[in-house]
Chain A
């Protein structure tokens, strides 16, 4: 299969198991190619940032939930990172272990969830 991407050969198709966002990725790991000095704190699905003209700029698509091991995108409606990646479902299950800031944040977000777009 030939997926659309500029950089390198796409490794496969990344699909978020929650929102079904799906797009080809070109790297999986903690050290995106051509990015000296950058280290990711989790194993990520990465592609070249399609919105930047520069080849070295990368875009993290998602990773694996540290609890349920489902593939999840980094969108705020699907997962959050707090020293580790958690899908939102797992976060809710263990909400009490998360700091207050995160708890209030999640409560606040609920009504706006349908329109929720990432931090743009």
Chain B
């Protein structure tokens, strides 16, 4: 041993690592309470230094020893009891712990001899170290106990604390209890703990927001002294800390609904707490309805509703007058100052907001309150545009006065920027946070002393007529107004400036409009259907939505094929109900599976379900724009997203955490891409579990042991990183720099300053990257995305079609005069809304030419003006009206082909040269021949597509039993679709019908005298069950195609329409009407393709008997002329009749 070689005992040096190591061997061995190398061990030596310094200082001042002993001489006053305390004071007597370490063990075992012979620590050093260790243990005990005591003290100070026993008693004795309390009363953190400590053990607490689930779980596990256990956990869409030991779970409302979908009785929970019910989110309202009926099934279930003191009676009454416990909030007094905006400063509709009223408040604060008195300002505006207007003005003022840091806050900011509002302003400077109503409930910022309330909010509403979302500005409700005010009194007394008159306030609605009254109910109704809740129209909602809303949703779901005509779920509907996404996106996923385009479609579906990763603020940054350029696709925004995702995965595979920088350069919010990866995986798993996607049959980990071990140790490392991060989170708040407000927000989020700052904050650990690596395998992902990296033009065409079919009927037609308009004035029309505009974030906003018809198209002679074979339509994801109606996330598709393949209504004239799609788009083809060819290929493709789709869905709903569609059939179909999409060269005109034209579109029913009775008609389309259309007139050929129903069309049977035609598949050559011809084509297949059971008998012979193997296409036909009953296919009937002519 080295220590033995050292001779000089006097050279003891406390700072030497060697000397310390020798003591470590005595005090901090493997099995000791503190082990060398542990964090406590490090703390000990730090403590040691402090302790020695402290002792030295005391020895120098020497004050202690002076009066020592003096006290003992005094006569005892309380002479009766002798406490038997030692005569001399020693701090060691105050420590109630002793430690048995090596020196003590050796002393007892008599092996002390080693001690004298060696160098190393002498008795003195050992004693010093021992004493310090005792003090250290005592100190750590006091420190931890201090934390505990503080925690308990704070819990007891909460207003809700005195209601603890009452709450527990109420919950034990009532199935439903309403706890109403305002901000700061502590209900969200305490009530779950009260129930937990009173013996309930399977508690779920729902929150409207994911972030609240995480932060509450963290806080409550800390408060319930379980921060290192898993008794308290959370579960949100892609993340959970739940284990079998979890007794209290925070989860989102949506997730609990999904769990009910899986297990209708929710047997896993004993108590359900629904928090923030007053916020009246769609999911929450629905959840309450579901739980109300669940209570009859589960009489043992306990339900606790927690609400602000808003409209409490509504909730109580809904649950048969459940008891209400009202808890006062804990707010400091807030002074309300009404400062209505003078008329000359009120903006007219088109103008920007006038910043003067807001600047006056800032000035007023500067004049009235000295800068040493801390307290920040929170300003509520209605929207992003308003925020940037006011931000600009405030920033100018701030730059001038050096007393403000101006920070915007809204959901389209990058998360890093949003996070900044929690940082601290330097002394003498206040934060001015300009926010949307996100800061009203979702985001809570401490330290706010002043609130400015514009009284306005922008709210999404749904216009069922135009199938359009609308973002409109409204006055807020009194409840919101109070909530905003309350934000000023969380940490001390505050001031609230209301920029409206008291009379305005009195006139506000009492509560905000619940979400269920404002939004499209498609997904909700679908979910209700899949939960077997019966007719949504009669569901007992707490506050039923308008019947029209439900009706619109039902109609829409029927249009989308999710419900059948009896409003029962179809197989596709059942599947869509499982997918936590919009119906349209769910449809795309299903369609993608059928065509083997799963990987790109998964990405697309994920991309369209999250907020755009492209940050708005970077849009005007030329560097970002240049860097983004290679990602753009002029086929449409979904393809840009696809490119972006794929490239990002590539970057991640190559550079790991370097992707963060890559994203910042391009103005991308990486968080969104992480969300996409997670969502994508969830979709994939759902598709697999529904048999739509084959489970990974490949490579059951052919890694050798070495690789597995490596992977395992890497995962362990990642887990450790994540845990360390979780523990540190929220403990580091940065101090803002004065210049911090201005530079960004107004543009450059990619600045280097921002970058280094962020890196600093994260100390190099990119927690998102860690989580990503824990959850996904980059190589797998890379493989998956590489298949969609370079889509061939064929795949691209198919993808567009899938998107279009998914998005249908969300289609927009470019205005015919767009080519002559400026880029910024391009307008489009949807079926229900004219004059919509492409959102500036869309690729088509910057590159509208790709939507124009080629100018110098070589026109075929005789082609009419406006005819072209290059017409395009836009399929779009959202139509949102703000100041103008905008479509966003658009993809362009060839008009004729897409319409014929997806439209739910195709109406024709007699020779099929005029087609009306969905009652609003008219296509005119000058060539009857080409028109027919198109229509009939479209018919066949659609029939086959539908057949294969159904086969796939049936297979998936019945497990693996049924025969899925054959690969060969699928390949043939995609081949056919691609050919149809890319190589249909037919010239046509395309226009939107006027309202008047739409009114007089159809010939209408043709009287009762009888088309129905005409045998000819009945037999024309035997396979297709043709019948006269009851409303439009003409003949309904398929569910979507109605023949010859357009007014001003030529007569159905006029012989002049018959033209000679030869069938390419059989030797038929005869004059046929378009209808007859289409029908022949639909039933006549090339020889090789005929299915055995479809073998056609030779019907030409007038007297041939119906064969026993007659196909399902044959019909019993009575020929009046031969006076015979024949079993013939429709074509055969036609042929038969020809014989008699």
Contacts and interface: CB of A to CB of B under 8 A. Distances in A.
B686 to A, nearest CB: 36
Given A41-B97, A59-B141, A100 B32 contact: no
Interface in A28-86: 35-42, 44, 47, 49-54, 56-57, 59-61, 63, 67, 73-76, 80-86
Nearest to B71: A100
Interface stretch (B85-93, B581-589, B836-844, B993-1001): B85-93
Contacts of A110: none
B163 to A, nearest CB: 17
Given A41-B98, A74-B145, A83-B85, A4 B224 contact: yes
A83 B93 contact: yes
B67 interface: yes
Contacts of A76: 142
A53 to B, nearest CB: 5
Contact of B225 (A4, A38, A80, A100): A4
Contacts of A103: 71
A22 B152 contact: yes
A119 B64 CA distance: 21
B32 A81 contact: no
Nearest to B200: A2
Question: Which of B93, B97, B193 counts the most chain A CB atoms within 10 A?
Answer: B97
Interface residues of B, number: 58
A82 B451 CA distance: 53
A97 B31 contact: no
Interface stretch (B227-235, B590-598, B613-621, B629-637): B227-235
B248 to A, nearest CB: 9
A21 B149 contact: yes
B201 interface: yes
Given A83-B85, A100-B89, A119-B142, A73 B96 contact: no
Interface in B46-82: 64, 67-68, 70-71, 74, 76-78, 81-82
B196 interface: yes
Nearest to A80: B94
Q: How large is the interface on A (under 10, 10 to 19, 20 to 34, 35 or more residues)?
A: 35 or more
Interface in B723-741: 727
A118 B143 contact: yes
Interface string B95-121: 111111100000000000000000000
Contacts of B70: 100
Interface in B533-571: none
| Prevailing SS type, chain A contact patch | loop
Contacts of B74: 96
Contact of A119 (B96, B101, B146, B226): B146
Contacts, number: 160
A1 interface: yes
Given A75-B149, A96-B78, A36 B33 contact: yes
A69 to B, nearest CB: 14
A50 B228 contact: yes
Contacts of A80: 94
A67 B149 contact: no
A120 B150 contact: yes
Contacts of A86: 83
B967 interface: no
Interface string B141-172: 11111111110110010000000000000000
Nearest to A119: B142
Given A4-B231, A6-B226, A50-B228, A117 B150 contact: yes
A59 B228 CA distance: 15
Given A4-B224, A85-B96, A118 B145 contact: yes
B71 A36 contact: no
Contact of B85 (A42, A93, A98, A118): A98
Contacts of B224: 4
Interface string A85-120: 110000001101111111100000000000001111
A86 B85 CA distance: 12
B14 interface: no
Contact of A1 (B139, B199, B229): B199
B1048 interface: no
Contacts of B215: none
B197 interface: yes
A74 B141 contact: yes
Given A21-B152, A94-B81, A119-B142, A3 B100 contact: no
Given A50-B227, A67-B81, A39 B144 contact: no
A82 B81 contact: no
A107 B85 CA distance: 20
A51 B227 contact: yes
Contacts of A4: 193, 196-197, 224-226, 231
Contacts of B196: 4
B161 to A, nearest CB: 11
B99 A38 contact: yes
B149 A118 contact: yes
A38 B95 CA distance: 13
A4 B95 CA distance: 28
Contacts of A23: 148, 152, 225
B145 A61 contact: yes
Contacts of B147: 51, 120
Contact of A37 (B93, B99, B139): B99
A49 B144 contact: yes
A4 B83 CA distance: 38
Nearest to B99: A37
- Which 7 A-B pairs give the minimum distances between C-beta atoms? A118-B146, A50-B225, A99-B89, A120-B146, A119-B142, A6-B229, A37-B100
13 contacts: A6-B229, A20-B156, A37-B31, A67-B81, A75-B149, A81-B96, A94-B81, A97-B78, A97-B83, A99-B71, A100-B71, A118-B149, A120-B143
Interface of A: 1-6, 19-23, 35-42, 44, 47, 49-54, 56-57, 59-61, 63, 67, 73-76, 80-86, 93-94, 96-103, 117-120
Interface of B: 31-33, 38, 40, 64, 67-68, 70-71, 74, 76-78, 81-83, 85-86, 89, 93-101, 137, 139, 141-150, 152-153, 156, 193, 196-199, 201, 224-229, 231, 727
Given A50-B144, A93-B78, 4 more contacts: A21-B149, A40-B98, A61-B145, A82-B94
